[in-house]
């Protein structure tokens, strides 16, 4: 009697696809959070992604742990099923995957928070300036 592994193969294939989708989505979100303030057309969207990120880190973080990110949580669940043993920070995985460097969780957290704060200040200031300029032009 042969035991079918088709179901587990399909689940693993789906998890492999989800792993890539999460990596692309989450990395794109981070890149946009870093640079989306630079273009006037993207600033309102950027303000939204920064607000959502801060709401997750500090709002949901009050219950799940400071810096909580739903995308990281979901991605880590997929990667766990695939057999990965990931560090606590998505930034650590991103830096390791993209640059081949290993960084400490404390450095990854410091970079993430500093970048979020800088991007938040920039996007708020530029969105306010754009709003005032548009109101003045009317």
Residues with Cβ within 8 Å of residue 69, at least 6 apart in sequence: 53, 56, 57, 90
Q: Count of residues for the chain?
A: 138
The domain spans of the chain are 6-137
Which token pair is 14? 């789906």
- In this prediction the pTM is 0.89
Rounded to the nearest integer, the mean pLDDT of the chain is 94
Model confidence at 51, pLDDT cuts 50, 70, 90, reads: very high
């Amino acid at each position: 009697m042969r035991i079918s592994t088709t179901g587990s193969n399909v689940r693993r294939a789906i998890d492999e696809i989800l792993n890539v989708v999460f990596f692309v989505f989450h990395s794109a979100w981070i890149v946009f959070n870093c640079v989306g303030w630079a273009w006037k057309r993207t600033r309102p969207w950027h303000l939204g992604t920064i607000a959502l990120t801060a709401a997750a880190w500090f709002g949901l973080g009050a219950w799940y742990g400071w810096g909580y990110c739903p995308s990281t949580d979901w991605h880590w669940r997929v990667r766990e099923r695939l057999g990965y043993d990931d560090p606590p920070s998505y930034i650590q995985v991103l830096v390791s995957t993209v640059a081949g460097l290993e960084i400490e969780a404390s450095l990854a957290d410091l970079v993430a928070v500093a970048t979020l704060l800088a991007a938040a200040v920039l996007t708020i200031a530029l969105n306010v300036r754009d709003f005032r300029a548009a109101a003045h032009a009317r």
